Chains A and B, each alone.
Chain A
Amino acid sequence: MNKIYNWLFGPKPTPTKTLDTANTAPLTDQQLQSIVSNQNPRFDMQQLIAAGGQSVGKQRELNEDSLLAITSTMAGNSGNLPFGLYIIADGMGGHQFGEVASNAAIRTVAGYVLRKFHSYLFQIKTDTMDESFQEIMLAAVSEAQRAIQREAPGSGTTLTAALVLGQQITVAHVGDSRAYFVYPDGRIEAITRDHSLVKRLEELGHISPEEAENYPHRNVLYRALGQGEILEPDIFTVAFPQPATLVICSDGLWGVVSEQDLIRSINEAPNLQRACQNLVTAANTAGGPDNISVVLAQLIG
């Protein structure tokens, strides 16, 4: 009976929305913050900003990760040239001196790159260099390879290094640390490819991404710094997208924090430092099985 009534007279018309939601009320902190963070203030001066975060994690006693972040700004009449170098290296467990290897890697690469750029960036002479960014990065990685074989033979490390010069990011990458771009609209783009057995099997369609999650040889790398006679790092140059955040992290972060959480932690944080803290906390909350390292950088202006 009721049904017929309903059918005959239709559902009760919902009262048209009154304008009481339009009452002026102070914005909540959250609303305010999201408005502020979405507003992308324009800076006249183009510059790099960056922050880093690191934790030994909850289950390891030793920190085998190494992290390096250098950010420089130079601006003047002759234009401005953001310069930055961000490196994460994850020393190998199961090998002796993993922490020695990762430390040697970041210091050697940074030392080499800075020496090369010093005379061009920080001296009056402003000729262009005769070596390319990619050649400098390759030479830096090769020098790190030799340093590790000398200082800590038998050990190995991953290395993901990003050299930012102007609007170009030149990445040198070996192993399974990762670099991403995270965009304010919630997109994420992986810009490195893991040199791991599991990734390779996944790429070839031998195992599904779900199987990869639980693969027993998850942490077997086929390329690492310090290992092997010939090292072939992936070296490439991409444009630094604006607005976007460059993320470099070790598997202690990407292995336990989902991409969705990664994006949210970065896009909802008021600043990069807080974002780094949030990411490290998220990885530790998820159990912190491995050392955690992360660097975030943005090009603004």
Chain B
Amino acid sequence: MGSVYRARDMHFPNVTKLVAVKEMINSAPDPLVRETIVQNFEREANLLATLHHPSIPRIYDYFSLDSRSYLVLEFIHGKDMEAIINETNGFLSEEQVLTWAIELCDVLDYLHKHKPDAIIFRDMKPSNVMVNSSGDVLLVDFGIAKSFQSGIKGTMIGTEGYSPPEQYRGEATPAADIYAMGATIHHALTRRDPRLEPPFSFVERPVRRINPSVSPELEVIVNRALEYDPVSRYKSALEMKEALMSVARKTGILVRMGSQTGPIVKASGIKPLWTFKTEDEIRGTPTIFQGALYIGSYDNNLYAVDAADGKFQWKYPTDGGIVSRPAVLDGNIYIGSEDKRLHVVSARSGKVVWTYYTDGPIRSSPRIAEGHIFIGSDDNHLHAINLTTGRMAWRFETADPVRSTPFVMNELVYTGCESGDYYAVDFRGALKWRFHAKRAITSSTVGNPQALYFSSVDGTLYALDPRNGWAIWRYRLGKASISSPCIVDEFVFVGASDGFMYAVEAKSSKEIWRFRAEHQVNGSPVIYKDSIYFGSVDGNLYCLEYRTGRLRWKFGTEGAITGTPLVFDDVVYVGSTDHQVYALLA
């Protein structure tokens, strides 16, 4: 370890000729080892002095004095690439990085072709690349200091971050330099310092996921350079340089490649199995029961439609819009309406069985559990209604309207409220605990014994301890959310009005992926097999691979989708504000 001095060459007293003097301290305690280090140093200095390449600083002299050795080399006016990356706001331009990368591949090619023995740089990284005042790059720190580092015993910190796996087995080959080259470009394009990430994790953060403005062609080159297996990388620095040049030719022209790739299946390629038109917007969510689809419309009707062909079966008129999801039990359909009532309708005949009045419009969906129907109302109450009598068992007063669907688990009823309060109420209607979010909780809860998940208009996805309401974690969404989360495996999925669908790890709240729709995502996602389905205000129904967030297909409707799709038997059903229900092959 040592320092670099800026020095003036006094052989030229009449002009100011600056040189860099690199000092290395020989701290080995054993005199024999010390001598070997000095010999190695001198051998390498001699080697360096024979190299001629515009990207390699010239060596003027070297000498050793006591326990220190010095190398006198060309002084470079400029900055190292790491400093440039850090000082740039936002990303460096692709053209800029591409130009540097081509120059660096050129110098690597020169080194690798050195006779009699190839020179392996071993330490390609942004801090070892200087960019001089005319914008050209130079490779500095030729591993020469390495022999001066004594071995450190015990637990150590620090991996290079840029080195390939095989280098840790002591293999230094041209392929290792190519990997480090890929790592350097990756760092420059993404601003993600690999030393702060788990080693060899580049695959987990592809360039374009972090910086979507990079062309797909360049990403392919970076990925190939970063292959774990040396054999799969570019065979030579020259080959990599040529690949980079071809990207430069393509994108260097002013016509930039479109950065977004088209959907895997074009929206127009999908034909619905059937559609069914109601007389107003469909904002709610369908339910399926014994081959029939039940869905409410803003035209006040609850519809029963044959799930197989979309044929009308019956409709049941309420006196207000229906924006929620029907529940089914024992051949009866339960649905709340803005006419303030909960309607219970026979699934077979479409005739009313009984109704239950609240004092405000109902926008919450009914939850049936433990012999009761739990439903929220804009009358600022959570209602518990006895299933057999149709009478109120109790109602629990809340601070504001309850529009989220109650969730029942372990003898507690959980619900959010427009005031931002979140309540856990026992089966006698007594408050067990309360939690407060900063804004309304319209989203409905999903949960398991470990945690309750819901989002809020305050732009947060919450995980609470079901027993006591303590927050386990909070995850910041880009904007407000009224979308109800869904959970599967170790993931929690939720949409937000910033247009993203988020996938978050349930135990750590780490983001797994996010997917951008073209407008708000207010409905809730559903998982079916290995796909996630959700609608957006942009009118599309999206189908993504739920583990990766990769788009499988999307299907455009004529209006915003605010409800939740339903997937049953490989068919997706979704309502749209274009008044229609669509049935599509999942």
Mark each residue of chain A from 166 to 183: 1 if its CB lies under 8 Å from any CB of chain B, else 0: 111010000010000000
**Beta-carbon contacts under 8 Å, B303-326 to A:** none
* A167 vs chain B, min Cβ distance (A): 7
User: Can you list 12 A-B pairs, Cβ within 8 angstroms, ordered by A?
Assistant: A132-B471, A166-B470, A201-B165, A201-B200, A219-B156, A220-B157, A222-B157, A224-B157, A236-B505, A237-B473, A237-B507, A239-B450
Residue of B nearest to A91 (CB): B155
Tell me if B548 counts as interface (CB < 8 A to partner A).
no
Q: Which residues of A contact B435 (CB under 8 A)?
A: 128
CB pair B472 A237 closer than 8 Å: yes
Of the candidates A90, A128, A204, A227, which one forms a contact with B470 in the assembled complex, judged by CB atoms under 8 Å apart?
Answer: A128
Contact across chains for B196 and A230 when beta carbons are under 8 A apart: yes
Residue on A with the closest CB to B195?
A228
A128-B433, A201-B168, A239-B450 known; A219-B467 Cβ under 8 A? no
Whole-angstrom distance between the alpha carbons of A165 and B200 in the complex?
A: 36
Chain A residues with CB below 8 A from B158, complex form: 220-222, 227
Mark each residue of chain A from 190 to 208: 1 if its CB lies under 8 Å from any CB of chain B, else 0: 0000010100110010100
Q: Mark B194-223, 1 if CB is under 8 A from A, else 0.
A: 011011100000000000000000000000
Which listed residue (A170, A228, A237) contacts B196, Cβ 8 A? A228
Q: Which of A235-278 contact B (CB under 8 A)?
A: 235-239, 251
Set of chain B residues within 8 Å of A156, measured between Cβ atoms: 157
Contacts of A217 in B (CB 8 A): 156, 168
B469 contact set on A, CB distance < 8 A:
128
Q: Is the CB of B434 within 8 A of A221?
A: no
Contacts of A130 in B (CB 8 A): 436, 471
Which residues B462-476 have CB closer than 8 A to chain A? Answer: 462-463, 465, 467-474
Residue contact A133 to B152, C-beta cutoff 8 Å: no
Q: B152 touching A131 by the CB < 8 A rule?
A: no
Partner among A133, A167, A201, A238 whose Cβ is within 8 Å of the Cβ of B467? A167
Chain A, 211-224, contact with B by CB distance < 8 Å: what is the 0/1 string?
00000010111111
Closest B residue, CB atoms, query A229: B196
Give the docked Cα–Cα distance between A164 and B153 (Å).
35
Q: How far is the CA of A223 from the CA of B199 in the complex (A)?
A: 10
Judge whether A206 and B465 touch: CB under 8 Å.
no
In the complex formed, the residue of A with least CB distance to B473 is: A134
Q: Does A135 contact B (CB under 8 A)?
A: yes
Q: Which of A37-45, A92-100, A104-112 contacts B (4 or more CB under 8 A)?
A: A92-100
Inside 8 A of B159's CB, which chain A residues have their CB?
197, 220, 222
Which residues 124-175 in A have Cβ within 8 Å of B in the complex?
A: 128-135, 156, 165-168, 170
Shortest distance in angstroms between B265's beta carbon and chain A's nearest beta carbon? 33
- Distance from A93 Cβ to chain B, minimum over Cβ atoms (Å): 2
Residues of B within 8 A of A128 (CB): 433-436, 468-471
Shortest CB-to-CB span from B346 to chain A, Å, is 43
- B509 close to A (CB within 8 Å): yes
Q: Which of A134, A165, A222, A229 contacts B198 (CB 8 A)?
A: A222
**Is A88's CB within 8 Å of the partner chain B?**
no
Please state if B471 and A220 are interface contacts (CB–CB under 8 Å). no
Write the chain A residue with the least CB distance to B471: A132
User: With an 8 A cutoff between CB atoms, is B16 at the interface?
Assistant: no
Chain A residues within an 8 Å CB radius of B200: 200-201, 204
What size tier do the contact residues of chain A reach? Answer: 35 or more
A135 touches B157 (CB 8 A): no
B157 touches which of A166, A200, A227, A229 (Cβ 8 Å): A227
Q: Across the interface, do A219 and B434 meet the contact criterion of CB distance under 8 Å?
A: no
Contact B472 A221 (CB under 8 A): no
Instruction: Output the least CB separation between B218 and chain A (Å).
Output: 24
**Which residue on B lies nearest to A60, using beta carbons?**
B154
Query: Tally of A-B residue pairs with Cβ under 8 A?
Result: 127
A130, B468: Cα distance in complex, Å: 13
CA distance A224 to B228 in the complex (A): 25
| A176 vs B154: C-alpha distance when bound (angstroms) | 13
Q: Are A197 and B199 in contact (CB under 8 A)?
A: yes
A205 vs B505: C-alpha distance in the bound complex, in angstroms? 24
A residues whose Cβ falls under 8 Å from a Cβ of B: 79, 81, 90, 92-95, 128-135, 156, 165-168, 170, 176, 195, 197, 200-201, 204, 206, 217, 219-224, 227-230, 232, 234-239, 251
| Given known A134-B509, A166-B465, contact A95–B473 (CB-CB < 8 A) | no
Set of chain A residues within 8 Å of B157, measured between Cβ atoms: 92, 95, 156, 220-222, 224, 227
Q: Does B96 contact A (CB under 8 A)?
A: no
B40 in the interface (beta carbon within 8 A):
no
Q: Mark B470-509, 1 if CB is under 8 A from A, else 0.
A: 1111100000000000000000000000000000010111
CB pair B465–A129 under 8 Å, yes or no, is: no
**Which of A133, A219, A234 sits near B471, CB closer than 8 Å?**
A133
Residue in B156, B228, B463 whose CB lies within 8 Å of A204:
B228
Distance to closest chain A CB from B423 (angstroms): 12
> What's the minimum C-beta distance from B425 to chain A, rounded to whole angstroms?
15
> What is the bound-complex CA distance between A234 and B228, given in angstroms?
25
B181 shortest CB reach to chain A, Å: 20
| B116: Cβ under 8 A from any A Cβ | no
Contact assessment for A132 and B463 in the assembled complex, using a CB-CB cutoff below 8 Å: yes
Specify which chain A residues have a CB less than 8 angstroms from the CB of B31 in the assembled complex.
Answer: none
Would A166 and B468 be within 8 Å (CB), given that A92-B157, A221-B155 are in contact? yes
- Judge if B449 is at the interface, Cβ distance under 8 Å: yes
Cβ of B165 and Cβ of A168 under 8 Å apart?
A: no
Q: Are A165 and B470 in contact (CB under 8 A)?
A: yes
Q: Which residues of A have CB within 8 Å of B507?
A: 236-238
A134→B465 contact, CB < 8 A: no
Which residue of chain A is the closest to B422 with respect to CB atoms? A128
Measured between beta carbons, the chain B residues less than 8 angstroms from A90 are: 155
Q: A220-B159, A221-B156 given. 8 additional CB < 8 A pairs? A: A92-B156, A130-B436, A132-B474, A134-B508, A166-B468, A195-B198, A220-B155, A221-B158
Top 7 nearest A-B pairs (CB, nearest first) are A93-B154, A132-B471, A236-B508, A134-B473, A94-B152, A236-B507, A219-B155
Asked if residues B471 and A131 are in contact (CB atoms below 8 Å), the reply is: yes
Residues of B within 8 A of A234 (CB): 508
Complex interface: chain B residues within 8 A of A81 (CB): 468
Q: Is the CB of B168 within 8 A of A197?
A: yes
Question: Quick check: B156 and A133 within 8 Å, CB to CB?
Answer: no
Give chain A residues whose Cβ lies under 8 Å from the Cβ of B155. Answer: 90, 92-94, 176, 219-221, 251
Residue of A92, A170, A236 with most chain B CB atoms under a 10 A cut-off: A236
Which B residue sits closest to A156, measured CB to CB? B157
Is A93 touching B198 in the complex (CB atoms < 8 A)? no
**Bound complex: CA of A237 vs CA of B464, how far in Å?**
11
- The answer, among B153, B468, B508, for a CB contact under 8 Å with A94, is B153
In Å, the complex CA distance between A285 and B511 comes to 44
B472 touches A200 (CB 8 A): no
CA distance A234 to B198 in the complex (A): 12
B12 to chain A, nearest CB (A): 40
Q: Could you tell me the distance between the alpha carbons of A126 and B159 in the complex, rounded to whole angstroms?
A: 46
Which residues on the A side are within 8 Å of B433 (C-beta)? Answer: 128
B505 partner residues in chain A, CB cutoff 8 A: 236
Q: Please report the C-alpha to C-alpha distance between residue A222 and residue B162 in the assembled complex, in whole angstroms.
A: 12
List, in ascending order, chain B residues with CB within 8 A of A230's CB: 196
Please, which residue of chain A has its CB at the minimum distance from the CB of B155?
A219
